[in-house]
Amino acid sequence: MNELTVVGRAPEWQRLKPLVINSVSSPITKRVLAPELAAGIQRVKITQSIGVRMGNGLSQKQAQALLNTPDISSLKGLRDRAIIALQLGCGLRQ
């Protein structure tokens, strides 16, 4: 998988919550992820961002070029590519 894929946010994130909770093996962690707590987090209002966005984000073509930059024949190149892929996946494109 060498191509970047642009995906939108999952509108049905409620399907993901049981998957995450069921993937945790610790009963303490499951207890901390209470449905009431999750519902409370869901109701938090996001404040409006004040200010001007600085810089320009990368286009998909620029992001692909950045991802292809490290030499994947070496261990450091694979590490660098994984870090860049993680950053691009998390929306750190500036």
Distance CA 80, CA 74 (A): 10
Is the pLDDT higher at 92 or at 79? Answer: 79
Q: How far is CA 79 from the centre of its chain?
A: 18
Sequence-separated (6 or more) residues with CB below 8 Å from residue 6:
60
Q: How confident is the model at residue 29 (pLDDT cuts 50, 70, 90)?
A: low
Q: What is the pTM of this model?
A: 0.47
Per residue in 32-72, pLDDT (tens digit) is: 666 666 677 667 777 776 777 677 788 889 889 999 999 99
Sequence-separated (6 or more) residues with CB below 8 Å from residue 55:
94
Characterize 62-78 residue by residue with b for buried, 16 or more Cβ atoms within 10 angstroms of its Cβ, and e for exposed. Answer: ebeebbeebeeeeeeee
Q: What count of other Cβ atoms lies within 10 Å of the Cβ of residue 24?
A: 12
